[in-house]
């Protein structure tokens, strides 16, 4: 990871936290000040999907060319993606408590997110129960690809078929309703980029640690 | 193509020869239905349609996972080597998917019969219900066959099988339950068209993925 990317990540997140908490936001009924969750909750899901995407990318590369390096990258991106998913879930639950009245509301989007996390937790269980390193790498890459391609599209399709109270679906004010509001866009897009870069940074650090441990055990 | 038929024939011959396995699965299904019947303690139409469909799909899900799981789990290492030498990976996965589909469908139909016998038959539109059943079974076999191949390599493979398959099954089950609800309410067939197409789409995706990915599992 280049230095400028790290600097950008830090600058963007400092900007997100100050501007996200201080700038003016539109007054919408029910949402009120919780609309600021857009800068912290939504980027978690964007980040999760992008990080899982990176994990898939390295899973494919591993299957085409089985180098341990790709396997390590694949699993570490999945780790950080899951951490983002859990943070997204927690921030969403907190938000739901104050707008919907309960931490767990049973909204289709909440259920879909829970299923995604289950898939990746199953992926870690699978890795834990395979002993041979090569076999673990190959089989978990296969499951990663299968589950992502078979499940993740569903999570975007099924909630759209049901009525949901989540902003952005079922006629609730969502991202499109903010389109007119340029003041939110100038915080939201940098926030997404900043959070993703931080996730990417964490993942690359973890990959480096894993590689050092590998050299350590080999010598 | 020829190989495919031979492989399918082999599966059926083996299955019929080991009668204990197939009768074990049948008994498992029967016990599940009977437990449902006893715990709800009825035949009095006291069960509502939503509960009926939830119970029905739970029973089918558990028996399907168990049935398909045995397609690779518990296979002797010698059999792997033999298959590896005689057939290609693509032929094997396709024959397993077809075979598991037939088995699942059989199981689901028997399960439906048992439900009608012991509990109730609230289904108003048989055609839609059976079409949904067939599509769901195809989805189960398309995705579970590959997962059973993965789980067979792991320690305590039955636990791994359950953990890996349930999240993947949820999408299929949601669609199936929605089709069932329409069929129970006796809505016209066009009302379930979206769900049917969705289910078909899921089946095509998981079938294609199994076909593409199976060679990688096979290699070890």
Local structure of A113: helix, strand or coil: helix
pTM: 0.86
CB contact under 8 A, A126 and B209: no
Determine contact: B97 vs chain A, CB below 8 A.
Answer: no
Determine contact: B219 vs chain A, CB below 8 A.
Answer: yes
B153: which residues sit within 8 A by CB, 6+ positions away?
A: A130, A135, A139, B217, B220
Q: Which residue from B170, B97, B153, B106 is spatially nearest to B133, judged by alpha carbons?
A: B106
pLDDT score at A180: 47
DSSP letter, residue A11 = H
The number of helices, as runs of H, and strands, as runs of E, in chain A is 7, 0
pLDDT score at A63: 92
Tokens 């639950």 sit on residue: A93
Say whether the ipTM exceeds 0.90.
no
> Is the predicted pLDDT of residue A121 greater than 70, yes or no?
yes
Which CA distances in Å does B180 have to A94, B61, B129?
35, 14, 6
What is the average pLDDT score of chain A? 84
Q: Which of A118, A142, A151 is closest, CB to CB, to B217?
A: A142
**Mutation for testing the A interface, residue in B144, B167, B191 having most A CBs under 10 Å:** B167
Q: Provide the pLDDT confidence category of residue A126 given band limits of 50, 70 and 90.
A: very high
Compute the average pLDDT of residues A197-218.
91
Both tokens of residue B96?
């397993």
How far A149 CA lies from chain B's nearest CA (Å)? 8
> Is the predicted pLDDT of residue A153 greater than 70, yes or no?
no
Domain residue spans of chain A: 3-218
- Please provide the size of chain A in residues: 219
pLDDT score at A160: 65
Both tokens of residue B42?
């009825």
CB contact under 8 A, B209 and A149: yes
Higher pLDDT, A183 or A84: A84
CATH architecture of A3-218: Up-down Bundle (1.20)
Higher pLDDT, B56 or B77: B56
> Is the predicted pLDDT of residue B43 greater than 80, yes or no?
no
DSSP letter, residue A10 = H
- Minimal-distance CA residue of chain A relative to B171: A154
pLDDT score at A200: 94
Higher pLDDT, B60 or B39: B60
CB A170 within 8 A of CB A163: yes
Q: Which residues of B170-204 are buried (b: 16+ CB within 10 A; e: fewer)?
A: bbbbbbbbbbbbbbbeeeeeebbeebbebbeebbe
DSSP-derived secondary structure for B169-212: HHHHHHHHHHHHHHHHHT--GGGGHHHHHHHHHHHHHHHHHHHH
pLDDT score at B81: 77
CB contact under 8 A, B167 and A151: yes
pLDDT score at B123: 81
Taking only the tens place, the pLDDT of each residue in A164-184 is 667 765 555 555 555 546 677
A55, with CB counted inside 10 A (0-12, 13-18, 19+), is buried
């Amino acid at each position: 990871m280049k230095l400028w990317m790290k600097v950008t990540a830090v600058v963007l997140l400092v900007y997100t936290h100050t501007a996200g908490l201080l700038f003016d936001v539109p007054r919408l009924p029910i949402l009120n000040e919780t609309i600021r969750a857009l800068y912290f909750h939504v980027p978690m899901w964007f980040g999760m999907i992008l990080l899982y995407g990176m994990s898939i990318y390295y899973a494919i590369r591993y299957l085409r060319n089985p180098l341990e390096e790709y396997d390590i990258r694949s699993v570490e991106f999945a780790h950080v993606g899951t951490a983002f998913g859990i943070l997204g879930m927690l921030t969403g639950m907190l938000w739901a408590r104050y707008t919907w009245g309960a931490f767990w509301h049973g909204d289709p989007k909440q259920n879909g997110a829970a299923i995604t996390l289950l898939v990746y937790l199953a992926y870690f269980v699978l890795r834990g129960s395979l002993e041979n390193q090569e076999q673990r790498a190959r089989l978990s890459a296969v499951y990663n690809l299968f589950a992502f391609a078979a499940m993740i599209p569903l999570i975007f399709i099924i909630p759209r078929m049901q009525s949901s109270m989540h902003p952005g679906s079922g006629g609730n004010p969502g991202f499109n309703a903010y389109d007119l509001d340029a003041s939110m866009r100038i915080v939201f897009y940098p926030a997404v980029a900043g959070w993703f870069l931080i996730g990417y940074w964490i993942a690359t650090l973890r990959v480096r640690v894993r590689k050092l441990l590998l050299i350590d055990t080999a010598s | 193509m020829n190989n495919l038929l031979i492989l399918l024939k082999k599966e059926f011959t083996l299955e019929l020869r080991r009668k204990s396995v197939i009768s074990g699965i049948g008994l498992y299904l029967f016990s599940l239905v009977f437990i449902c019947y006893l715990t709800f303690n009825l035949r009095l139409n006291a069960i509502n349609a939503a509960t009926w469909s939830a119970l029905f799909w739970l029973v089918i899900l558990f028996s399907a996972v168990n049935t398909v799981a045995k397609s690779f789990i518990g296979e002797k290492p010698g059999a792997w080597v033999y298959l590896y030498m005689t057939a290609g990976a693509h032929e094997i996965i396709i024959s397993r998917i077809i075979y598991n589909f037939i088995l699942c469908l059989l199981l689901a139909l028997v399960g439906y019969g048992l439900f009608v016998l012991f509990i109730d038959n609230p289904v108003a539109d048989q055609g839609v219900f059976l079409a949904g059943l067939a599509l769901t079974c195809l989805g189960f076999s398309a995705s579970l066959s590959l997962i059973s191949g993965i789980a067979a390599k792991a320690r305590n493979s039955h636990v791994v099988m359950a953990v890996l398959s349930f999240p993947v099954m949820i999408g299929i089950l949601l669609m199936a339950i929605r089709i069932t609800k329409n069929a129970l309410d006796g809505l016209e067939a066009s009302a379930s068209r979206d769900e049917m197409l969705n289910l078909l789409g899921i089946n095509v995706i998981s079938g294609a993925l199994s076909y593409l990915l199976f060679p990688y599992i096979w290699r070890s």
